[in-house]
Amino acid sequence: MRFDIITIFPDFFAGPFDFGILKRAHTTGLVQIATHDLRSFTHDRHRTVDDRPFGGGEGMVLKAQPIYEAMKSLNLSPKIGRDKKKETVILLSAQGQPFTQSLAQELSVTERVVILCGRYEGVDERVNELFCDREISIGDYVLSGGELAAAVIVDAVVRLLPGALGNPDSSRFESFGAEEVADRSDSADGPPRSTYGAGGLLDYPHYTRPADFMGVSIPEALSGGNHEAIRRWRRRMALKKTLENRPDLLEKIEITEEDREILAELRGYEE
């Protein structure tokens, strides 16, 4: 898989891509990440990439011409008829569709992802119309530029590539995992999975040694080695976390009879 990132701050990415899973994926060739300096596609002495907005108002807008030339240098196929499984062009924008785990999954099976990082007031909208397949936001807040958002997307996508994580199950059974509820059946004949959130829930809390830290002990269910007790505790805690922090997610997931009972208990009443 390959990422091409168009930015006015290519050096920004030296940090985020130089550690842990991303660095390993990069150095082993699992992913190629290239940054392209938008200023190299300008032709004036000041290497101007921005200009004042039509209609007036504060701030500056990234010009279309250097972006067009940057895109042209990437030999992309024309937007109309582009095979989005092969290549897709993303405009980062606070006005975009929300970036989610399922979008990360979708991008992780794309051969090439081109990401355009905005700055200032944003990018001339004609760039979006003419070259971009999707406008993506990483959350309901405004960043100073698209670079942090690009790093977030690359990180979330790369860890889903087969071979990126030491244990591939780590990305199957974590928060927002798309894994079916039905796939929670391992406890009968093996140790419980280290992560069990999955099925669209948030992950449950994790603990490691020592069993007692500052007088706070780990939950009893986790210390006895009873796989079924561990499974039930994890499911309960995943439901509790989700109910407390992201109740909206509960509307979207498949709920079992067991989940229904746990949720009724957590809410403090019988359903």
- Residue ranges that bind ligand SAM, judged by CB under 6 A: 92-95, 117-119, 121-123, 137-139, 141-146, 149
Q: Which residues are annotated as a binding site?
A: 118, 138-143
Give least dist CB 117 to ligand SAM, A: 5
**Between 7 and 171, CB nearer to ligand SAM:** 7
Give least dist CB 176 to ligand SAM, A: 18
For 226, half-sphere exposure in the C-beta direction (CA atoms, 13 angstrom radius) is 8
Q: Is 17 helix (H, G, I), strand (E, B) or coil?
A: helix
**8 Å CB contact between 156 and 98:** no
Residue of this chain nearest to ligand SAM (CB atom): 118
Give least dist CB 200 to ligand SAM, A: 23
Distances from the Cα of 19 to the Cα of 23, 36, 107, 160, 181, angstroms: 5, 21, 21, 16, 33
CB-neighbour burial class of residue 70 (10 A; exposed 0-12, middle 13-18, buried 19+): buried
Give least dist CB 52 to ligand SAM, A: 14
Compute the distance between CA of residue 63 and CA of residue 66 in angstroms, rounded to an integer: 7
Neighbours of 135 (CB within 10 A): 18
Give least dist CB 89 to ligand SAM, A: 13
**Between 13 and 233, CB nearer to ligand SAM:** 13
CB-neighbour burial class of residue 46 (10 A; exposed 0-12, middle 13-18, buried 19+): exposed
For 237, half-sphere exposure in the C-beta direction (CA atoms, 13 angstrom radius) is 18
**Between 123 and 132, CB nearer to ligand SAM:** 123
Please give the helix or strand (H or E) that residue 67 lies within, else none.
helix 64-73
Compute the distance between CA of residue 8 and CA of residue 119 in angstroms, rounded to an integer: 8
Q: Which residues are annotated as a binding site for S-adenosyl-L-methionine?
A: 118, 138-143
Q: Computed from CA positions of residues 164, 168, 170, 172, in that sequence, does the dihedral angle turn out positive or negative? A: positive
Provide CB contacts within 8 A for 226, sequence distance 6+.
Answer: none
**Between 130 and 255, CB nearer to ligand SAM:** 130
**Between 5 and 239, CB nearer to ligand SAM:** 5
**Between 67 and 230, CB nearer to ligand SAM:** 67
